[in-house]
């Protein structure tokens, strides 16, 4: 079975780990959001790609959901000693190595898709370790585009109306300052990365994990060509909203910026029936309906790999039924 998954960071990565367990023989292509990418200290950082790569490769900091396990922070401390800013974004020593390799390759002229493939050779090109480790074999991680797309947030506070990078809004301001608008700068001129449209074309099913519908999946869908390619496919999504609140992160602040209510049904209708065929909602949202979309009720908290696998299995079953 060929599966395409559109993924942001933590929610997408944990869903994928479940999907690998639920469908170990599937050919899985992940289209990763790059709108969160940021250049810091001269290094290109791709948080969502790295979160997927580290999670599937067994190198993620499990408690945090992002960054490396067993991390140290010597470089960060040294930068702070020089009073180098910003200091609101934490990069660990092991993580720095990833950004150094990526930036060297980008500077040498390799596109982000080739760089991502090279980085993933370390994390994903290995069979399951047989000890219950995730193993990422069978997964191809493709950035949504090789072009530069950066999500910026227009805020209006005491310092005045201005555009700031998404990470500054998310990490420094904790999305506490209301977003007037969220803009994926560069998206309209971006081209899907090599392999993206082919993967969608040959997919039996496309899955939307419980990733942020605005700044993760929404950004991927803004890359010209991706949405129309997906519209022709059987698409099943997992609600990132349970009982009127995001499972994690601050998706409610992003939904407010585009005038969508924070409910499982409103998010399904935001995607719309042209895109979405099936939608999984949690038991607490049992009354949810969405016009033209088949809604199924399942426990949606991803407590561990088993519960993530059960959700992935339910998504695949619904997709098979709707195909
Ligand atoms: N999230 C934070 O809340 N604080 C951080 O300092 C932070 C650093 C960071 C470094 C590398 C990385 O890959 C991710 C990092 N994240 C951090 C997560 C990230 O900002 C967001 O959660 C995602 O971009 C949203 O998907």
Helix H, strand E, coil C: the string for the chain is: CEEEEEECCHHHHHHHHHHHHHCCCCEEEEEECCCCCEEECCEEECHHHHHHHHHHHCCECCCCCCCECCCCCHHHHHHHHCCCCCCCCCCCHHHHHHHHHHHHHHHCCCCHHHHHHHHHHHHCCCCCCCCCCCCCCCEEEEECECCCCEEEEEEEECCEEEEEEHHHHHHHCCCCCCEEEEEEECHHHCCECCCHHHHHHCCCEEEECCCCCCCCHHHHHHCCCHHHHHHCCCEEEECCEECCEECCCCHHHHHHHCCCCCCHHHHHHHHCCCCCCEEEECHHHCCCCECCEEEEECCCCCCCHHHHHHHHHHHHHHHHHHC
The pLDDT, as a whole number, for residue 131 is: 44
Instruction: Tell me the mean pLDDT per 10 residues along the chain, length 323.
Output: 98 98 97 98 98 97 98 98 98 98 98 98 74 65 98 94 97 96 98 98 98 98 98 98 94 96 98 98 97 98 97 98 97
- Nearest ligand 1 atom to alpha carbon 88: 6
Whether omega for the bond prior to residue 86 falls within 30 degrees of 0, making it cis, is yes
How many angstroms separate the alpha carbon of residue 41 from the centre of ligand 1? 16
Evaluate the CA torsion angle 278, 211, 119, 197 in order and state its sign.
positive
- Burial call 163-186: b when 16+ CB within 10 Å, e when fewer: ebbbbbbbbbbebebebeebbbeb
The domain containing residue 273 runs over which residues?
Answer: 1-323
What pLDDT score was predicted for residue 159? Answer: 87
CA distance 142 to 91: 23
What is the per-residue pLDDT for 129? 54
- Decide: 13 and 57 in contact? Cβ < 8 Å: no
Characterize 81-107 residue by residue with b for buried, 16 or more Cβ atoms within 10 angstroms of its Cβ, and e for exposed. eeeeeeeebebbebbbebbeebbebbe
> Using a 6 Å CB cutoff, which residues line ligand 1?
8-9, 36, 45, 47-48, 50-51, 66-67, 89-91, 95, 167, 170-171
Ligand 1 centroid distance, CA of 10 (Å): 10
pLDDT value at residue 125: 75
Q: Is 225 exposed, middle or buried (0-12, 13-18, 19+ CB in 10 A)?
A: middle
As given in the structure block, the two tokens for residue 224 are 């010209």
Spatial contact of 295 and 8, defined as CB atoms under 8 Å apart: no
Token pair of 82 as six digits: 């020089």
Q: What is the pTM of this model?
A: 0.97
- Separation of CA 105 and ligand 1 centre (Å): 22
Pocket test for ligand 1, best of 171, 184, 213 (most atoms within 8 A of CB): 171
Q: What is the CATH number of the domain that holds 63?
A: 3.40.50.10680
The Cα–Cα gap between 181 and 193 comes to 26
Cβ-based neighbour number of residue 159 at 10 Å: 9
Question: Largest Cα–Cα distance of the chain, in whole Å?
Answer: 59
CA of residue 295 to ligand 1 center, whole Å: 32
Nearest atom within ligand 1 for CA of residue 166: 24
* Structural domain total, the chain: 1
């Amino acid at each position: 079975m060929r599966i395409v998954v559109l993924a942001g960071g933590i929610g997408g990565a944990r869903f994928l780990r479940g999907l690998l367990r639920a469908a170990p023989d599937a050919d899985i292509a992940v289209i990763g959001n790059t709108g969160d990418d940021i250049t810091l200290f001269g290094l290109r950082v791709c948080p969502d790609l790295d979160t997927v790569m580290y999670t599937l490769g067994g190198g993620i900091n499990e408690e945090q959901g992002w960054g490396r396990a067993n991390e140290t922070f010597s470089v960060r401390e040294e930068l702070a000693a020089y009073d180098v800013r910003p200091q609101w974004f934490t990069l660990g020593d092991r993580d720095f190595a990833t950004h150094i390799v990526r930036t060297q390759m980008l500077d040498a002229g390799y596109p982000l898709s080739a760089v991502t493939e090279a980085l993933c050779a370390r994390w994903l090109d290995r069979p399951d370790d047989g000890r219950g480790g995730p193993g990422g074999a069978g997964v191809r991680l493709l950035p949504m585009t090789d072009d530069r797309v950066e999500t910026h947030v227009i805020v209006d506070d005491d310092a005045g109306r201005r555009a700031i990078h998404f990470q500054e809004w998310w990490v420094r301001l904790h999305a506490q300052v209301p977003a007037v608008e969220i803009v994926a700068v560069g998206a309209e001129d971006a081209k899907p990365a090599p392999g993206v449209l082919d993967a969608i074309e040959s997919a039996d099913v496309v899955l939307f994990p419980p990733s942020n519908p605005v700044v993760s999946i929404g950004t991927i869908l803004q890359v010209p060509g991706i949405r129309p390619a997906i519209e022709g496919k059987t698409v099943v999504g997992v609600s990132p909203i349970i009982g009127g609140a995001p499972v994690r992160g601050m998706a409610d602040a992003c939904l407010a910026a585009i005038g969508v209510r924070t409910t499982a049904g409103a998010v399904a209708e935001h995607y719309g029936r042209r895109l979405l065929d099936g939608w999984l909602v949690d038991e607490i949202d049992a009354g949810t309906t969405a016009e033209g979309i088949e809604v199924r009720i399942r426990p949606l908290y991803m407590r561990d790999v088993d519960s993530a696998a059960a959700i992935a299995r339910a998504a695949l079953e619904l997709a098979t039924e709707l195909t």
